[in-house]
Structures are given as C-alpha cells and as structure tokens.
Amino acid sequence: METQVTEYKSLQKIQTGDKGFKELAKTCVCLANAQGGVIVIGFDDKTKEPPDNQVIEQAQINDALQRLRSHTFSVGLSPSEILTHENGGQYFQITVFPSQKIVATTSDGRIYIRIADKCEPVRGEDLQRIVAEKDAFQWELVSKNIPLNTIPETNIQKLVKDIRLSDRVKDSVKEKSDVEILEHYSLIQNFQLTNLGVLWLGTAQQRAKLSYPITIQYIVYDALEQKTRKYLWDDYTLNPKELLFSIEKEAVELNYSYEFPDGLFRNQVRHYPKEVIRELLINAIAHKSYLISADITIEVFPDSFRISSPGGLPLGITSNNILHEKHRRNPHLIKLLHDLKLMEGEGSGYDLIYEKLSADAKPFPVVESDFNKVSVTLESKIMDLEALRLTDYITQHFQLTQREKIVVGIVARHKKILSTELTRILQLSEEDRLRSWYSKLVERKIISDRGIKKGKEFLINPEIIKYSELNIKPNLKTIEPHRLIALLETDISTYPNSSISEIHKRLPDVDIKDLRKTIYQMVEDGKLQTYGALKNRTYKLA
C-alpha cells in the first residue's frame, strides 16, 4: 500500500527509456523534499506484487541508479540488494534520503513535494514555505549533545512501560531493550538525546535549551470578551503527554454541557465532545512548528473556543482538503503519540472530529491558516435538536461505519441536501467519490435519494422517522415534488398574481431553489401563467 513515504513502481519504468526515468525522478525529488522514503521497483500495479517469473539483474539496478542521479539534483539515493517476493518474483528498493538543507529538483529545474501518497508540483510562491518546512522536517533528529545518562531514569521507565503496554506497538518492538526502544523512536542517537528526546525525556532545564519548546496559554473570556481566567504552561516541566493531561484537567470550561428534555428523562450533550478536544489539543502539539517562537493558545468564549498553533498548515494542505490529505511536519513525534494511543492514526483525526460533531448536530470546525499559525474554531451550539435525536436513534439501531455516521449527521441536520453540496462539505474532489460514502445507506433504506446527477438529493428515509416515534415535526423542506405542486396550486389559487418572493414568504420552510424550480416547471407544463418580466413577474393558475 502506497503511503507518504512509500511508492511502488513497475519494472517497466526502468525499461521504457527517458519517459520512465523522468517519472521516477519526479518521485525521488518529491520524497527528498519531504521526509524521504522508499521506491519499490518491480511491483505490478494490478496485482500489487511482482510477476512470479520476474528476474532482475544487478546491472539493471546500477544503470537505474546512475540514470536517476543524472535526472535529479540534491537527491541522495541508495539501492537495496535484489529481493525475492514470496511468490518467487524479484524486485528491488531505492531509498531516497531527505535533503537536509537544499531544495531537491529534477535536472530540468522542477520542484515537487510529497503530499499524502502523491507528488505535487511546488509553485514559485510556495518556495519560501518549502525552504522553511525543510528545517522543520529535520528538527526532531538534531542531536543536542546531552548524554542519555544525564536524564532521570524514571522518565525512561515511564515511557518504556507505556510502549510495552500499548496494543498499537508490535511485539518485535516491545522485545527490544530500553535503549533500543529509545533509538527506535528517534529519541537518542549514539546515546545522545535528539531534540525529540529532550522534549519527551529531558528535565525542565534541558527543555529550556531547545530553540522553541512547547509553551501554552489557556484564556477564558466572558460575553464582552474580557479575560476572566488565564493559565500558563511555560516552565517546561512536562513532556507532551503530561501537558495533554494537565490541559484536560485544567480546562474545566471545555467540559460544560447542555441539558435538554428527552421524554421522561433529561439528556446531556457536551459543548465540545471530549474526543474532539483531545484530537485538537494533540494536533496542536504534534503539528506545531518548533522553529517559530510562539505559544499554543487556547481561547474559550461563551459560545465557542479557538486553538492556535505556531506554523501554518503544511504545504499542500488547506482548509478545503484537510479531511482527506495527510502531511506530517513532525513524523517521529506523531509516531510516538500514535503508538501511545494519544492520537488517531495518520490522516484519521479529522474523520473522528467530523464523526463526533455530526453525532451531536454541531457545526464542523473552521480552519484558518497563514504562514505563522493555524487556528481551529469550534462552536458549542446544537444546530438542530431534532437532528440530534434522530441521528442518535439511527446510530443506536444501525451498525454504521465512520463515514456513514458523518453522512447521516449531515443529512439529518440539513433535512435535505443536494449531492453537490454534500460533496463540498465532505471536501471530495469528485461527485463519483461520494458514492462510497452513501451507497450502503441508500441500500439499507436509512437515507433516501431522488433525482439524478447534480440534481440528486438526499434525506432521511421518512419510514425511519415514522418508526422512531420521536414526534419529529414534518418539514416542507423535504416535501415530495408532486406534493409541492399541489401545495403551490392551492397557494396561487388563493393568492393569484403573486411573485416568487411573495410565495416564499407564505411558505418559508420550502427551499427557495426547489420553489423556483417547481414554479418554472409548472409554467413550462402550462399549469401557470406569467405576467410582467424579470423581478416584477407574477404567477396565476392557467
């Protein structure tokens, strides 16, 4: 499976002349400008394994390496020996080292960078960012000349114990010695602490020697945006895990809940789901740029909270693709946080955030980014109480995937939503990709779809609403087309010579787009007559 650091290529790439080598050179450059990686050559795209009769000569490897070096600048490459797959087919690997300081390019001067599992071109205006990011990529591994024997033994034992207790860590890693585990997670090199090692294992005095260690401000505001409380973590005494737990303990305002009636009982919904708070906090620590002198800030308002972290979104990541694209600024820190079960797997954090907010009928996060920081804002309000109850009923009675929970929450909140709008909210590049999100929901009759192509719209199956016994009020937004026609005939018969805006004032729950579409169709079918033109046009029954 291709990842941010692994690419698979057919042997034909080194057998088709310059065309294949130019494509491989592009891959080498994009990996070198990120965190390096491995290109596995000899795997067939269709079968995801080498042909069982494939034989590779050492001369082919040597020639491939020589030609790749001639097609790239500032790219370090190292070949493996000839490897044999379990099916008997041969293949080999080329390790691409990250370029430490210089931007890697192809021989014709083109620059690429790895975004998720794709190589994306770098535009001229992004060149400054990629230069800044290169230092950030290497920050974790810089040695601080602090011997391992100068840090408290208890710090090592706590970490090693947590690693060995984690079910996300392979047995082969758990069986390593304490020092080998520290080396595995890049906390030490040659018994000297790296920057990452100091951040996690060091003393307060040692952390203070880092260029820009973690400092955090927690500020609470009242309705007039006057500060009512402030708490600081700026003494460097805590490692990232301890910081996370300390923030969760101190940030009591983020634990407030709404209470609302639910039959004979009263239900509670937190202002912000606990899992969402943790994911945003850990993201701020994990993706922070440790080369910028600035605090992580958490600002809590009566109806929202905002968390800001030094360093903008990595190159290629925007607020419009953050749900799907993956790009790690501090990969070794992220690996450690993941294995300690403090954060979700790579690229799945925002999936979790969307899932939890969908379940609580809350707005999705607003992400803002510039060169120096990225901010994420969450609102505490419940957008639709009926949608909350309906989503809760569906998730209790049906086994749903994470994607399906997100779609159900969005559809319930909107009552009815066009496929184009759902595609936009889910940050999908093509509507065809949307099908994998909703198809089984339609098959299981949890949601209904009507219309075709860009006119396709989704709503919660009325039968589910009926059998849920939640006493959800009917909404004209979901009215069926033939019933809307009958409703308009009745309305226009009572109020002839009405404009569309006047009709909408009397039927405010009907979507204005549906209203226009239906009226125009009724005119075309000869059911309505028009008078006037453009903005002054009115309608009466034919």
Q: What is the mean pLDDT of residues 42-47?
A: 76
Could you read off the pLDDT of 46-74 as tens digits, one per residue?
Answer: 667 888 889 999 999 999 999 999 999 98
What domains does the chain contain, in order, with CATH numbers? 6-122 (3.30.950.30), 124-381 (3.30.565.60), 385-473 (1.10.10.10), 479-541 (1.10.10.10)
Task: State the virtual CA torsion across 524, 529, 534, 537 in degrees, nearest 10.
Answer: -150
d(CA 285, CA 344): 14
Cα distances from 458 to residues 300, 410, 425, 463, 475, in angstroms, run: 35, 10, 14, 14, 14
For residue 155, pLDDT over 70 is answered with yes
d(CA 144, CA 198): 8
Amino acid at 443: E
Which is it for strands 90-97 and 192-194: parallel, antiparallel or unpaired?
A: unpaired
For residue 182, pLDDT over 80 is answered with yes
Q: What is the mean pLDDT of residues 341-360?
A: 82
Distance of CA 392 to the CA centre of its chain: 24
Tell me, what's the pLDDT at 318? 76
| Residue 304: closest CA among 410, 221, 389 | 221
For residue 412, pLDDT over 70 is answered with yes
Length reported for the chain:
542
Collapse the DSSP code of 227 into the 3-class scheme (helix H, G, I; strand E, B; otherwise coil) and give the result.
strand
Tell me, what's the pLDDT at 134? 64
Collapse the DSSP code of 173 into the 3-class scheme (helix H, G, I; strand E, B; otherwise coil) and give the result.
helix
Task: Note the helical H segments in 321-471.
Answer: 331-339, 349-359, 385-397, 402-414, 419-425, 435-443, 462-468
Amino acid at 398: F
Could you read off the pLDDT of 495-510 as tens digits, one per residue?
Answer: 998 999 999 899 888 8
Could you read off the pLDDT of 208-238 as tens digits, one per residue?
Answer: 988 788 999 999 999 998 999 999 999 999 9
Of 76-85, 445-454, 466-475, highest mean pLDDT: 76-85
Tell me, what's the pLDDT at 235? 92
Tell me, what's the pLDDT at 532? 86
Are 416 and 478 spatial neighbours (Cβ–Cβ below 8 Å)? yes
Look up residue 306 and give its two tokens: 């905002």
Are 138 and 98 spatial neighbours (Cβ–Cβ below 8 Å)? yes
Amino acid at 365: P
Provide φ and ψ at 141, rounded to 5°.
-95, 0
Q: What is the mean pLDDT of the chain?
A: 87
pTM: 0.75
Q: What is the mean pLDDT of residues 293-308?
A: 94
Tell me, what's the pLDDT at 404? 93
Q: What 8-state DSSP symbol labels residue 528?
A: E
Element (H, E) at 218: strand 216-221
For residue 422, pLDDT over 80 is answered with yes
d(CA 356, CA 353): 5
Q: Cβ of 217: how many Cβ atoms within 10 Å?
A: 15
In the structure, how many helices (H) and strands (E) does the chain have?
Answer: 20, 25
Q: Cβ of 348: how many Cβ atoms within 10 Å?
A: 15
Give me Rg for the CA atoms of the chain: 29
Positions of E strands within 85-142: 90-97, 105-106, 112-115, 118-121
